[in-house]
Amino acid sequence: MDNVTLDTLTDWLSRFHAAVTERRDYLTELDSAIGDAEHGANMARGMAAVMAKIDVARPGTVDELLKTVGMTLVSSVGGASGPLYGTFFLRMGIACGAVCELTPEALGSGLRAGLDGVLQRGKAELGDKTMYDALFPALEAYATAVAAGSGAPGAIDAAADAARLGRDATVPMVARKGRASYLGERSVGHLDPGATSAAMLISSLAAAMAG
């Protein structure tokens, strides 16, 4: 079956936790150039809190899992990343519903709902040098692959590739949102930390699907 199970989604979170923990100093280094030098520490702390919460009481449905993630991130992560990532998972959970597995189409709809939440909260557009610049092309690539008949693993691989390209494309951009926007032209030449962690989010899902 090509459906994405609750276990796979839980593995996704575990891999994302491992990724932001391993690259915590790197994310902080990126954020120190154009932000407040907290993104790495904030994401690692938030995902550690998420995994601790899940380990204590393992959610039984997709919406319960993702809503738990979202609420934990909102309450435990400072700066902009907590509300943005928290909103992403909360909206994704609401869209996915009380099910135990997701079809490729349902996963895409859930991810898109999460992205819409990020857009509404952050008010970012493409080219603003934010996490949106990695997530939007990723989900466009996912939807295109599914429409062409790809299963969820192949589609999320395409999404991960697109997220990395979107992340890299933030280097020449002038930041127009968040703390980085205060730097104006001086933000050019730096990789956006939010887009970098967002690319990790998608690549972690691809890794979980690959087993």
Whether pLDDT at 183 is above 80: no
pLDDT band at 40 (very low <50, low <70, confident <90, very high): very high
Whether pLDDT at 96 is above 90: yes
Whether pLDDT at 1 is above 60: no
* pLDDT, mean of residues 59-75: 96
More confident residue, 184 or 43: 43
What is the chain's percent helix, strand, coil content, to nearest 5? Answer: 75, 0, 25
Number of domains, the chain? 1
Where on the phi/psi map is residue 11: left (φ > 0), alpha (ψ -120 to 50), or beta? alpha
Handedness of CA 48, 52, 55, 61 (dihedral sign): negative
Q: What's the chain's average pLDDT?
A: 92
Task: For residue 117, give the amino acid letter.
Answer: G
Tens digits of residue pLDDT in 13-28: 999 999 999 999 999 9
Residue 148 maps to which CATH number? Answer: 1.25.40.340
Q: Say what the pLDDT of residue 64 is.
A: 97
* pLDDT, mean of residues 39-45: 93
pLDDT band at 77 (very low <50, low <70, confident <90, very high): confident
* pLDDT, mean of residues 39-46: 94
* pLDDT, mean of residues 166-194: 77
Could you tell me if 177 and 124 are in contact, meaning their C-beta atoms sit under 8 angstroms apart?
yes
Structural domain span for residue 185? 4-210
